[in-house]
Each structure stands twice: as C-alpha cells, then as structure tokens.
C-alpha cells in the first residue's frame, strides 16, 4: 500500500512538472539571407544600434516552459545585442551590393532595438522590433518599425539553447530582409 501511494506521488510530480528547472543563454550568430540577384549599388553608413528595450536591465528575454505550459526556466539575455543587430544589417547590406563605408554622405542608417523576446514550449519562438531611420542626402527618407517573428516547431530539438538561437536569427533575418527591400526602393 505504501509503495503504491509513493509511486502515485512520484508519477504525479513527474507529470505535473514535465521537466527540470534550467536556463538558456543563447549565443548570437547571424547568416545572410538577401539574394544576390537583387544587387544594387551605393554606399551606406550604419550607426551602431541603440538598445531601447524597456526591460533591458532584467537580464531575461523570455522563458522556457514544459509541455504543460509551466515555466521551468528562463532565456537569459545574450551579450552585445546591439553589435549583433548592427553587424547583421551591415552584412545584409554588403550582400545586397551596398558598400558599408565608415562614413557616407549618401545614406545613413540609424536604428533602435525596441523589443527582443524568445521562448520555448514545443516551439521555439522569437520576436524582434527594430525602429529604423534612413537619411539620404541629409533628408529622412524612411522612418519605420520592422517586426521579425519566428515560430519554429521542432520537437526533436533536444537543445533549448540551439533552438532559441535559430529562432532569434530567423526573426532578425525577417526584419532585416523587409528593411533591405525598402532601402532598395529608395
């Protein structure tokens, strides 16, 4: 009787929690996506992005939940988010045919990171909001907020960190891809 009661308690705890408590701190990597068939020419200067996230001091950008939706860990804030976004934009501009100069009178791009969040519960989700201002010949020609959103189902992914890293990269690729399309129209 005692063994049956103890077994019921252990199994109940297992099914109610679903996983152990842990945290993930993703490392930020980026790979370009702009197709080289849309090459344009020109030069652009990209100012370092500003981190304007209201929750940037918390050190947390999301949470990891188990199969029951119960929080079992946190997604820690990666280091140097502003450099990641700035370098990603420079990389995409180069890939699209722009020269990213140390200074440019032709085009100046300013950006702010308004929001960055990532989470995991069966899927790896990430969202980024970037506010971009583009000046061309000393006039603002583009002032827009871009959203990148990634929702990747991968139940065979056993590394929360890797899944979250891929979701963060995909969300940034989406936002920057929209921006490059708009810059090409200017």
Query: 10-34, pLDDT tens digit by residue?
Result: 555 544 444 455 677 777 777 777 5
Quote the pLDDT of residue 21.
Answer: 55
117 vs 77: CA distance, rounded Å: 9
Domain containing 114 equals 23-185
What confidence tier does 36 reach under pLDDT thresholds 50, 70, 90? low
In a domain, 14, yes or no: no
Q: What is the distance, to the nearest Å, from the Cα of residue 38 to the centroid of all Cα atoms in its chain?
A: 24
Burial class from Cβ neighbours inside 10 Å (0-12, 13-18, 19+) for residue 81 reads: buried
Per DSSP bridges, beta strands 43-46 and 107-121 are parallel
Q: How many domains is the chain built from? A: 1
Examine residue 39 and state whether it is found in any structural domain, yes or no. yes
Is 72 part of any domain?
yes
pLDDT digits (tens, 9 = 90+) for 141-156: 999 999 999 988 766 5
Q: What is the pLDDT of residue 183?
A: 92
CA–CA separation, 161 and 157 (whole Å): 10
pLDDT tens figures, 76-102? 888 789 999 999 999 999 888 888 878
Predicted local confidence at residue 107, as pLDDT: 92
Residue 15 belongs to some domain of the structure: no
Question: What value does the mean pLDDT take over residues 115-122?
Answer: 87
CATH code of the domain containing 142:
3.30.160.150
Judged by DSSP in three states, 173 sits in: helix
> What are phi and psi for residue 111, nearest 5 degrees?
-145, 155
Q: Is residue 9 part of a domain?
A: no
Phi then psi for residue 9, to 5 deg, are -65, -45
Q: Could you tell me if residue 90 is inside a domain?
A: yes
Q: What is the pLDDT of residue 141?
A: 96
Q: Between the CA of residue 76 and those of 19, 51, 56, 60, 63, what are the distances in Å?
A: 18, 16, 11, 4, 8
pLDDT at 50 over 50: yes
CA distance 163 to 169: 10
Q: Please give the pLDDT value at position 17.
A: 47
d(CA 83, CA 66): 32
In Å, how far are 80, 138, 156, 165 from 55, measured between CA atoms? 15, 33, 31, 20
Q: Is 165 left (phi over 0), alpha (psi -120 to 50) or beta?
A: alpha
């Amino acid at each position: 009787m005692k063994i049956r009661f103890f077994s019921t308690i252990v199994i109940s705890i297992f099914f109610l929690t679903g996983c152990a408590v842990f945290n993930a701190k993703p490392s930020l990597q980026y790979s370009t996506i702009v197709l080289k068939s849309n090459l344009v020419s020109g030069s652009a200067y990209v100012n370092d992005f500003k981190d304007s996230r209201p929750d940037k001091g918390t050190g947390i950008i999301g949470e990891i939940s188990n199969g029951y939706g119960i929080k079992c860990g946190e997604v820690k804030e990666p280091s140097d988010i502003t450099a990641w976004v700035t370098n990603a934009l420079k990389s995409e501009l180069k890939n699209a045919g722009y020269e990213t100069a140390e200074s440019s009178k032709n085009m100046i791009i300013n950006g702010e990171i308004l929001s960055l969040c990532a989470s995991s519960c069966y899927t790896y989700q990430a969202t980024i909001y970037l506010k971009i201002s583009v000046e061309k010949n000393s006039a603002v020609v583009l002032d827009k907020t871009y959203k990148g959103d990634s929702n990747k189902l991968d139940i065979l992914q056993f590394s929360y960190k890797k899944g979250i890293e891929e979701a963060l990269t995909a969300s940034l690729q989406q936002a920057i891809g929209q921006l490059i399309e708009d810059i090409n129209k200017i």
